[in-house]
Protein backbone atom coordinates (compact mmCIF):
# COMPACT_ATOMS: atom_id res chain seq x y z
CA UNK A 1 0.00 0.00 0.00
CA UNK A 2 2.86 2.34 0.89
CA UNK A 3 4.68 1.70 -2.36
CA UNK A 4 1.43 2.16 -4.35
CA UNK A 5 0.86 5.55 -2.78
CA UNK A 6 4.46 6.53 -3.41
CA UNK A 7 4.12 5.59 -7.11
CA UNK A 8 0.87 7.52 -7.38
CA UNK A 9 2.51 10.57 -5.82
CA UNK A 10 5.39 10.47 -8.29
CA UNK A 11 3.00 9.89 -11.23
CA UNK A 12 0.81 12.87 -10.26
CA UNK A 13 3.82 15.15 -10.04
CA UNK A 14 5.16 14.03 -13.44
CA UNK A 15 1.72 14.53 -15.01
CA UNK A 16 1.44 18.04 -13.50
CA UNK A 17 4.94 18.97 -14.72
CA UNK A 18 4.14 17.65 -18.22
CA UNK A 19 0.84 19.59 -18.38
CA UNK A 20 2.50 22.79 -17.22
CA UNK A 21 5.25 22.44 -19.84
CA UNK A 22 2.87 21.80 -22.73
CA UNK A 23 0.48 24.55 -21.59
CA UNK A 24 3.31 27.05 -21.23
CA UNK A 25 4.64 26.23 -24.73
CA UNK A 26 1.14 26.51 -26.24
CA UNK A 27 0.48 29.86 -24.55
CA UNK A 28 3.87 31.24 -25.63
CA UNK A 29 3.91 30.13 -29.26
CA UNK A 30 0.21 30.03 -30.13
CA UNK A 31 -1.30 32.77 -27.98
CA UNK A 32 1.86 34.91 -28.00
CA UNK A 33 1.72 35.37 -24.22
CA UNK A 34 4.80 35.53 -22.02
CA UNK A 35 3.61 36.17 -18.43
CA UNK A 36 1.49 33.03 -18.12
CA UNK A 37 4.23 30.76 -19.53
CA UNK A 38 6.68 32.34 -17.10
CA UNK A 39 4.38 31.57 -14.19
CA UNK A 40 3.93 28.00 -15.47
CA UNK A 41 7.71 27.62 -15.80
CA UNK A 42 8.08 28.71 -12.19
CA UNK A 43 5.44 26.16 -11.17
CA UNK A 44 7.38 23.43 -13.11
CA UNK A 45 10.56 24.35 -11.24
CA UNK A 46 8.73 24.21 -7.89
CA UNK A 47 7.09 20.85 -8.75
CA UNK A 48 10.42 19.39 -9.95
CA UNK A 49 12.19 20.48 -6.76
CA UNK A 50 9.37 19.15 -4.62
CA UNK A 51 9.47 15.82 -6.45
CA UNK A 52 13.26 15.56 -5.98
CA UNK A 53 12.82 16.34 -2.28
CA UNK A 54 10.00 13.79 -2.14
CA UNK A 55 12.16 11.03 -3.66
CA UNK A 56 15.28 11.94 -1.66
CA UNK A 57 13.31 11.94 1.58
CA UNK A 58 12.13 8.38 1.11
CA UNK A 59 15.65 7.32 0.02
CA UNK A 60 17.16 8.90 3.15
CA UNK A 61 14.64 7.13 5.35
CA UNK A 62 15.33 3.83 3.59
CA UNK A 63 19.09 4.34 3.99
CA UNK A 64 18.62 5.07 7.72
CA UNK A 65 16.45 1.96 8.03
CA UNK A 66 19.02 -0.28 6.33
CA UNK A 67 21.87 1.18 8.40
CA UNK A 68 19.89 0.45 11.57
CA UNK A 69 19.56 -3.18 10.48
CA UNK A 70 23.20 -3.37 9.42
CA UNK A 71 24.53 -2.08 12.74
CA UNK A 72 21.72 -3.69 14.81
CA UNK A 73 20.73 -0.27 16.14
CA UNK A 74 16.99 -0.49 16.65
CA UNK A 75 16.68 2.65 18.78
CA UNK A 76 15.92 4.84 15.76
CA UNK A 77 12.39 6.04 15.05
CA UNK A 78 10.84 7.60 11.96
CA UNK A 79 8.64 10.70 12.48
CA UNK A 80 5.88 11.75 10.13
CA UNK A 81 6.13 14.94 8.07
CA UNK A 82 2.69 16.42 7.48
CA UNK A 83 3.94 18.35 4.48
CA UNK A 84 4.89 15.18 2.61
CA UNK A 85 1.44 13.69 2.57
CA UNK A 86 -0.18 10.47 3.69
CA UNK A 87 2.19 8.14 1.85
CA UNK A 88 5.12 9.28 3.97
CA UNK A 89 3.07 8.76 7.09
CA UNK A 90 2.48 5.18 5.91
CA UNK A 91 6.21 4.73 5.19
CA UNK A 92 7.16 6.03 8.65
CA UNK A 93 4.59 3.80 10.26
CA UNK A 94 5.84 0.74 8.35
CA UNK A 95 9.49 1.49 9.21
CA UNK A 96 8.62 1.94 12.89
CA UNK A 97 6.65 -1.33 12.94
CA UNK A 98 9.53 -3.24 11.37
CA UNK A 99 11.98 -1.66 13.84
CA UNK A 100 9.73 -2.74 16.69
CA UNK A 101 9.66 -6.32 15.36
CA UNK A 102 13.47 -6.29 15.20
CA UNK A 103 13.63 -4.96 18.77
CA UNK A 104 11.37 -7.73 20.02
CA UNK A 105 13.29 -10.39 18.07
CA UNK A 106 16.62 -9.21 19.45
CA UNK A 107 15.20 -9.06 22.97
CA UNK A 108 13.89 -12.62 22.61
CA UNK A 109 17.25 -13.83 21.31
CA UNK A 110 19.05 -12.12 24.18
CA UNK A 111 16.64 -13.73 26.65
CA UNK A 112 17.19 -17.14 25.04
CA UNK A 113 20.95 -16.64 25.09
CA UNK A 114 20.83 -15.64 28.75
CA UNK A 115 18.62 -18.63 29.48
CA UNK A 116 21.05 -20.99 27.71
CA UNK A 117 24.01 -19.47 29.55
CA UNK A 118 22.26 -19.99 32.89
CA UNK A 119 21.48 -23.62 31.95
CA UNK A 120 25.06 -24.26 30.77
CA UNK A 121 26.47 -22.82 33.97
CA UNK A 122 24.18 -24.89 36.20
CA UNK A 123 24.30 -28.34 34.56
CA UNK A 124 26.54 -30.91 36.22
CA UNK A 125 28.19 -31.89 32.92
CA UNK A 126 31.32 -29.90 32.10
CA UNK A 127 31.10 -27.91 28.84
CA UNK A 128 34.07 -26.43 26.94
CA UNK A 129 34.11 -24.88 23.47
CA UNK A 130 37.19 -23.80 21.54
CA UNK A 131 37.80 -22.57 17.99
CA UNK A 132 40.27 -23.76 15.35
CA UNK A 133 42.97 -21.57 16.91
CA UNK A 134 42.45 -23.14 20.32
CA UNK A 135 40.85 -20.08 21.93
CA UNK A 136 38.27 -20.97 24.58
CA UNK A 137 34.74 -19.71 23.95
CA UNK A 138 32.70 -21.20 26.81
CA UNK A 139 33.76 -22.89 30.04
CA UNK A 140 30.98 -23.62 32.49
CA UNK A 141 31.28 -23.95 36.27
CA UNK A 142 31.19 -27.75 36.16
CA UNK A 143 34.22 -27.84 33.81
CA UNK A 144 36.12 -25.37 35.99
CA UNK A 145 35.35 -27.47 39.06
CA UNK A 146 36.44 -30.70 37.36
CA UNK A 147 39.67 -29.44 35.79
CA UNK A 148 40.78 -26.90 38.40
CA UNK A 149 42.82 -24.98 35.80
CA UNK A 150 43.38 -21.29 36.67
CA UNK A 151 42.95 -18.76 33.84
CA UNK A 152 41.70 -21.34 31.36
CA UNK A 153 41.78 -19.29 28.13
CA UNK A 154 43.30 -21.64 25.56
CA UNK A 155 42.81 -25.37 25.00
CA UNK A 156 46.58 -25.83 25.35
CA UNK A 157 46.13 -24.89 29.03
CA UNK A 158 44.67 -28.38 29.39
CA UNK A 159 48.30 -29.54 29.26
CA UNK A 160 48.74 -28.10 32.76
CA UNK A 161 46.53 -30.91 33.99
CA UNK A 162 47.85 -33.66 31.69
CA UNK A 163 49.80 -33.42 28.44
CA UNK A 164 48.43 -36.83 27.43
CA UNK A 165 44.87 -35.62 28.02
CA UNK A 166 45.56 -32.57 25.82
CA UNK A 167 46.77 -34.82 22.99
CA UNK A 168 43.71 -37.06 23.32
CA UNK A 169 41.36 -34.05 23.19
CA UNK A 170 43.09 -32.44 20.20
CA UNK A 171 42.95 -35.75 18.30
CA UNK A 172 39.25 -36.25 19.03
CA UNK A 173 37.02 -36.56 15.97
CA UNK A 174 33.47 -35.14 15.91
CA UNK A 175 31.10 -37.50 17.71
CA UNK A 176 33.96 -39.53 19.19
CA UNK A 177 33.99 -40.47 22.87
CA UNK A 178 36.96 -41.31 25.07
CA UNK A 179 37.59 -42.37 28.64
CA UNK A 180 40.61 -40.89 30.45
CA UNK A 181 41.81 -41.32 34.04
CA UNK A 182 43.57 -38.16 35.22
CA UNK A 183 44.19 -39.24 38.81
CA UNK A 184 42.68 -41.41 41.53
CA UNK A 185 39.72 -39.06 41.99
CA UNK A 186 39.14 -37.91 38.40
CA UNK A 187 38.13 -40.27 35.60
CA UNK A 188 36.67 -38.36 32.67
CA UNK A 189 34.32 -39.37 29.88
CA UNK A 190 34.83 -36.81 27.09
CA UNK A 191 32.62 -36.47 24.02
CA UNK A 192 33.27 -34.15 21.09
CA UNK A 193 30.93 -32.26 18.74
CA UNK A 194 31.64 -29.89 15.85
CA UNK A 195 29.74 -26.78 14.80
CA UNK A 196 30.13 -23.58 12.81
CA UNK A 197 29.13 -20.27 14.35
CA UNK A 198 29.94 -16.67 13.45
CA UNK A 199 32.03 -17.80 10.49
CA UNK A 200 34.31 -19.86 12.77
CA UNK A 201 34.68 -23.58 13.38
CA UNK A 202 34.11 -24.62 17.00
CA UNK A 203 34.70 -27.86 18.88
CA UNK A 204 32.34 -28.55 21.77
CA UNK A 205 33.47 -30.90 24.54
CA UNK A 206 31.30 -32.44 27.24
CA UNK A 207 33.08 -33.81 30.32
CA UNK A 208 31.78 -36.08 33.05
CA UNK A 209 33.60 -37.48 36.06
CA UNK A 210 32.55 -41.11 36.36
CA UNK A 211 34.93 -41.91 39.21
CA UNK A 212 32.12 -42.36 41.76
CA UNK A 213 30.15 -44.59 39.40
CA UNK A 214 33.28 -46.61 38.63
CA UNK A 215 34.02 -47.06 42.32
CA UNK A 216 30.45 -48.21 42.92
CA UNK A 217 30.60 -50.58 39.94
CA UNK A 218 34.03 -51.76 41.04
CA UNK A 219 32.72 -52.57 44.50
CA UNK A 220 29.78 -54.42 43.00
CA UNK A 221 32.14 -56.26 40.62
CA UNK A 222 34.37 -57.32 43.52
CA UNK A 223 31.33 -58.53 45.43
CA UNK A 224 30.14 -60.54 42.44
CA UNK A 225 33.64 -61.89 41.87
CA UNK A 226 33.88 -62.89 45.53
CA UNK A 227 30.61 -64.78 45.16
CA UNK A 228 31.94 -66.58 42.07
CA UNK A 229 35.26 -67.40 43.74
CA UNK A 230 33.52 -68.60 46.88
CA UNK A 231 31.10 -70.72 44.85
CA UNK A 232 33.83 -72.36 42.76
CA UNK A 233 36.21 -72.89 45.69
CA UNK A 234 33.47 -74.31 47.89
CA UNK A 235 32.40 -76.62 45.05
CA UNK A 236 35.93 -78.04 45.10
CA UNK A 237 36.79 -77.86 48.80
CA UNK A 238 33.55 -79.34 50.15
CA UNK A 239 33.81 -82.72 48.34
CA UNK A 240 37.54 -82.87 49.05
CA UNK A 241 36.90 -82.32 52.76
CA UNK A 242 34.13 -84.90 52.72
CA UNK A 243 36.34 -87.42 50.90
CA UNK A 244 39.19 -86.89 53.36
CA UNK A 245 36.82 -87.74 56.24
CA UNK A 246 35.60 -90.83 54.33
CA UNK A 247 39.16 -91.98 53.62
CA UNK A 248 40.05 -91.51 57.27
CA UNK A 249 37.05 -93.68 58.26
CA UNK A 250 38.10 -96.36 55.70
CA UNK A 251 41.61 -96.41 57.11
CA UNK A 252 40.25 -96.78 60.62
CA UNK A 253 37.80 -99.57 59.70
CA UNK A 254 39.65 -101.51 56.98
CA UNK A 255 43.25 -101.42 58.18
CA UNK A 256 45.02 -103.72 60.65
CA UNK A 257 48.24 -103.32 62.53
CA UNK A 258 50.90 -105.96 61.91
CA UNK A 259 54.46 -106.32 63.02
CA UNK A 260 55.81 -105.37 59.62
CA UNK A 261 53.34 -102.48 59.19
CA UNK A 262 49.68 -101.89 58.24
CA UNK A 263 47.34 -104.26 56.37
CA UNK A 264 44.40 -102.81 54.38
CA UNK A 265 41.48 -104.76 52.98
CA UNK A 266 41.19 -104.92 49.19
CA UNK A 267 37.83 -103.10 49.07
CA UNK A 268 39.12 -100.40 51.39
CA UNK A 269 42.25 -100.00 49.26
CA UNK A 270 40.14 -99.56 46.11
CA UNK A 271 37.93 -96.99 47.89
CA UNK A 272 41.02 -95.07 48.94
CA UNK A 273 42.35 -95.14 45.36
CA UNK A 274 39.06 -93.83 43.97
CA UNK A 275 38.89 -91.14 46.66
CA UNK A 276 42.44 -89.97 45.93
CA UNK A 277 41.67 -89.86 42.18
CA UNK A 278 38.61 -87.72 42.89
CA UNK A 279 40.64 -85.37 45.09
CA UNK A 280 43.27 -85.09 42.36
CA UNK A 281 40.65 -84.29 39.70
CA UNK A 282 38.94 -81.66 41.85
CA UNK A 283 42.33 -80.13 42.67
CA UNK A 284 43.17 -79.91 38.96
CA UNK A 285 39.78 -78.28 38.33
CA UNK A 286 40.51 -75.72 41.04
CA UNK A 287 43.94 -74.99 39.52
CA UNK A 288 42.33 -74.62 36.07
CA UNK A 289 39.82 -72.16 37.52
CA UNK A 290 42.57 -70.10 39.19
CA UNK A 291 44.57 -70.02 35.93
CA UNK A 292 41.48 -68.85 34.03
CA UNK A 293 40.97 -66.07 36.57
CA UNK A 294 44.63 -65.09 36.22
CA UNK A 295 44.27 -64.93 32.41
CA UNK A 296 41.21 -62.69 32.76
CA UNK A 297 42.90 -60.22 35.10
CA UNK A 298 46.24 -60.03 33.26
CA UNK A 299 45.32 -59.05 29.70
CA UNK A 300 48.18 -56.94 28.25
CA UNK A 301 47.63 -53.50 26.74
CA UNK A 302 46.91 -53.82 23.00
CA UNK A 303 49.74 -53.04 20.57
CA UNK A 304 47.73 -51.29 17.89
CA UNK A 305 48.59 -51.05 14.22
CA UNK A 306 46.66 -50.34 11.05
CA UNK A 307 45.80 -53.65 9.39
CA UNK A 308 43.55 -54.63 6.48
CA UNK A 309 40.37 -56.37 7.62
CA UNK A 310 40.79 -58.76 4.70
CA UNK A 311 44.09 -59.93 6.19
CA UNK A 312 42.48 -60.47 9.61
CA UNK A 313 39.69 -62.56 8.12
CA UNK A 314 42.11 -64.59 5.99
CA UNK A 315 44.21 -65.40 9.07
CA UNK A 316 41.15 -66.57 11.02
CA UNK A 317 39.82 -68.70 8.14
CA UNK A 318 43.27 -70.17 7.56
CA UNK A 319 43.51 -71.26 11.21
CA UNK A 320 39.94 -72.59 11.37
CA UNK A 321 39.73 -74.06 7.85
CA UNK A 322 40.33 -77.74 8.70
CA UNK A 323 38.11 -77.75 11.78
CA UNK A 324 35.22 -76.10 9.90
CA UNK A 325 35.68 -78.44 6.95
CA UNK A 326 35.56 -81.51 9.17
CA UNK A 327 32.19 -80.38 10.54
CA UNK A 328 30.88 -79.41 7.05
CA UNK A 329 30.51 -75.73 7.98
CA UNK A 330 30.60 -73.06 5.26
CA UNK A 331 32.12 -69.68 6.12
CA UNK A 332 31.58 -66.54 4.00
CA UNK A 333 33.19 -63.09 4.20
CA UNK A 334 31.76 -59.66 3.33
CA UNK A 335 33.89 -56.50 3.59
CA UNK A 336 32.52 -53.02 2.80
CA UNK A 337 34.52 -51.26 1.46
CA UNK A 338 36.83 -53.99 0.23
CA UNK A 339 40.00 -52.11 1.30
CA UNK A 340 38.72 -51.45 4.83
CA UNK A 341 41.42 -51.13 7.50
CA UNK A 342 41.12 -51.19 11.29
CA UNK A 343 43.44 -49.82 14.00
CA UNK A 344 43.87 -52.66 16.48
CA UNK A 345 46.13 -55.31 18.02
CA UNK A 346 45.98 -58.03 15.30
CA UNK A 347 46.86 -60.88 17.67
CA UNK A 348 44.20 -59.97 20.24
CA UNK A 349 41.45 -59.36 17.67
CA UNK A 350 42.35 -62.59 15.84
CA UNK A 351 41.99 -64.42 19.16
CA UNK A 352 38.51 -62.91 19.65
CA UNK A 353 37.42 -63.81 16.12
CA UNK A 354 38.69 -67.38 16.48
CA UNK A 355 36.79 -67.74 19.76
CA UNK A 356 33.59 -66.39 18.18
CA UNK A 357 33.93 -68.59 15.08
CA UNK A 358 34.47 -71.67 17.28
CA UNK A 359 31.36 -70.79 19.31
CA UNK A 360 29.41 -70.27 16.07
CA UNK A 361 30.62 -73.64 14.79
CA UNK A 362 29.35 -75.37 17.92
CA UNK A 363 26.03 -73.52 17.63
CA UNK A 364 25.29 -74.71 14.07
CA UNK A 365 26.10 -78.38 14.67
CA UNK A 366 22.43 -79.43 14.60
CA UNK A 367 21.47 -77.33 11.55
CA UNK A 368 20.96 -78.76 8.07
CA UNK A 369 22.71 -75.74 6.47
CA UNK A 370 25.68 -74.82 8.61
CA UNK A 371 26.61 -71.23 7.80
CA UNK A 372 28.93 -68.67 9.37
CA UNK A 373 29.39 -65.13 8.05
CA UNK A 374 32.36 -62.86 8.74
CA UNK A 375 31.32 -59.28 7.96
CA UNK A 376 33.09 -55.92 8.16
CA UNK A 377 31.40 -52.56 7.69
CA UNK A 378 33.00 -49.11 7.59
CA UNK A 379 30.61 -46.54 9.08
CA UNK A 380 32.54 -43.27 8.65
CA UNK A 381 32.57 -41.25 11.86
CA UNK A 382 30.63 -44.05 13.56
CA UNK A 383 33.68 -46.30 13.30
CA UNK A 384 34.08 -49.88 12.09
CA UNK A 385 32.06 -52.98 12.93
CA UNK A 386 33.34 -56.56 12.57
CA UNK A 387 30.58 -59.18 12.83
CA UNK A 388 30.41 -62.94 13.27
CA UNK A 389 26.98 -64.31 12.38
CA UNK A 390 25.64 -67.87 12.45
CA UNK A 391 22.29 -69.57 11.85
CA UNK A 392 22.53 -71.82 14.87
CA UNK A 393 20.43 -72.45 17.97
CA UNK A 394 20.97 -68.94 19.27
CA UNK A 395 20.93 -67.55 22.81
CA UNK A 396 17.84 -67.11 24.96
CA UNK A 397 17.15 -63.47 26.03
CA UNK A 398 17.81 -64.22 29.71
CA UNK A 399 21.37 -65.32 28.90
CA UNK A 400 22.32 -62.55 26.42
CA UNK A 401 24.12 -60.34 28.96
CA UNK A 402 25.13 -63.06 31.39
CA UNK A 403 27.28 -64.77 28.76
CA UNK A 404 29.84 -62.00 29.25
CA UNK A 405 30.05 -62.59 33.01
CA UNK A 406 33.32 -64.39 33.90
CA UNK A 407 32.89 -68.15 34.48
CA UNK A 408 29.27 -68.17 33.30
CA UNK A 409 28.70 -70.67 30.49
CA UNK A 410 25.74 -72.25 28.70
CA UNK A 411 27.88 -75.19 27.49
CA UNK A 412 28.52 -78.45 29.29
CA UNK A 413 32.24 -78.05 28.72
CA UNK A 414 34.05 -74.74 28.92
CA UNK A 415 35.38 -72.33 31.51
CA UNK A 416 33.00 -69.47 30.72
CA UNK A 417 35.96 -67.12 30.40
CA UNK A 418 36.33 -66.71 26.60
CA UNK A 419 33.63 -64.09 26.01
CA UNK A 420 34.55 -62.23 29.19
CA UNK A 421 38.16 -61.93 28.00
CA UNK A 422 36.96 -60.92 24.51
CA UNK A 423 34.87 -58.07 25.91
CA UNK A 424 37.76 -57.00 28.13
CA UNK A 425 40.05 -56.83 25.09
CA UNK A 426 37.51 -54.70 23.21
CA UNK A 427 37.26 -52.37 26.23
CA UNK A 428 41.05 -51.96 26.10
CA UNK A 429 40.63 -51.03 22.42
CA UNK A 430 38.06 -48.42 23.51
CA UNK A 431 35.46 -50.33 21.58
CA UNK A 432 32.68 -52.73 22.51
CA UNK A 433 31.57 -56.33 22.02
CA UNK A 434 27.82 -56.75 21.62
CA UNK A 435 25.48 -59.58 20.76
CA UNK A 436 22.00 -59.94 19.32
CA UNK A 437 20.21 -63.24 18.86
CA UNK A 438 16.95 -64.68 17.58
CA UNK A 439 16.87 -68.32 18.77
CA UNK A 440 17.00 -70.84 15.91
CA UNK A 441 17.38 -68.06 13.34
CA UNK A 442 20.53 -65.97 13.73
CA UNK A 443 23.09 -64.81 16.27
CA UNK A 444 25.40 -61.86 15.62
CA UNK A 445 28.44 -60.87 17.68
CA UNK A 446 29.67 -57.35 16.80
CA UNK A 447 33.14 -55.93 17.49
CA UNK A 448 32.66 -52.15 17.33
CA UNK A 449 35.71 -49.90 16.90
CA UNK A 450 35.35 -46.10 17.21
Q: What is the CATH number of the domain that holds 293?
A: 1.10.287
Say yes or no: 332 and 390 in one domain.
yes
Last residue of a domain, which of 249, 280, 297? 297
Q: What number of helices (H) and strands (E) belong to the chain?
A: 10, 14
Say yes or no: 322 and 420 in one domain.
yes
- Name residues whose C-beta falls within 8 Å of residue 215's C-beta, 6 or more positions apart in sequence: none
Asked whether residue 243 is assigned to any structural domain, the reply reads yes
Nearest Cα to 72, choosing from 106, 96, 104? 106
Asked whether residue 178 is assigned to any structural domain, the reply reads yes
Last residue of a domain, which of 244, 267, 297? 297
Look at residue 83 in the predicted model and tell me its pLDDT: 47
In the chain, % of residues over pLDDT 90:
8
Asked whether residue 32 is assigned to any structural domain, the reply reads yes
Last residue of a domain, which of 209, 234, 261? 209
Q: How far apart are CA 349 and CA 357, in angstroms?
A: 12
Q: How far apart are CA 344 and CA 438, in angstroms?
A: 29
Say yes or no: 339 and 436 in one domain.
yes
Say yes or no: 360 and 437 in one domain.
yes
Say yes or no: 293 and 331 in one domain.
no
pLDDT tens digits along 308-322: 999 999 888 887 877
Look at residue 82 in the predicted model and tell me its pLDDT: 47
Other Cβ atoms within 10 Å of 10 Cβ, number: 15
In the chain, the number of structural domains is: 4
Say yes or no: 194 and 225 in one domain.
no
Say yes or no: 99 and 142 in one domain.
no
pLDDT tens digits along 82-99: 444 445 566 666 666 776
Say yes or no: 39 and 66 in one domain.
yes
Say yes or no: 270 and 375 in one domain.
no
Say yes or no: 431 and 345 in one domain.
yes
pLDDT tens digits along 211-227: 777 667 666 766 666 66
Say yes or no: 257 and 377 in one domain.
no
Q: Select the highest-mean-pLDDT range: 180-189, 261-270, 285-294.
A: 180-189
Say yes or no: 131 and 165 in one domain.
yes
- The DSSP element (H or E) to which 28 belongs, if any, is helix 2-29
Q: How far apart are CA 250 and CA 257, in angstroms?
A: 14
pLDDT tens digits along 253-279: 766 666 666 667 677 777 777 777 777
Domain that holds residue 184: 123-209
* Res. 145 pLDDT band, cuts 50 70 90: confident
Amino acid sequence: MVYKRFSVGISIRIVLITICLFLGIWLYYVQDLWLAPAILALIVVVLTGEMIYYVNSINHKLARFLDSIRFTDFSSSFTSDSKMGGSFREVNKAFNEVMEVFKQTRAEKEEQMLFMQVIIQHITTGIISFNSEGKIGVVNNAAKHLLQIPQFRDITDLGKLSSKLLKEVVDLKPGQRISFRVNSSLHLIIQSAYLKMGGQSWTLLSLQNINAELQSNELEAWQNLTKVLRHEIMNSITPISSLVESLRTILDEDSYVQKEGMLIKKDGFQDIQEGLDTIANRSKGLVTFVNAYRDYTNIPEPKKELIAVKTLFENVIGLMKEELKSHQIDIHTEITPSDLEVHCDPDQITMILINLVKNAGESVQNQADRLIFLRALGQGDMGISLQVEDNGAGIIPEALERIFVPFYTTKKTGSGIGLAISRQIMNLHRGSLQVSSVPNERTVFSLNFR
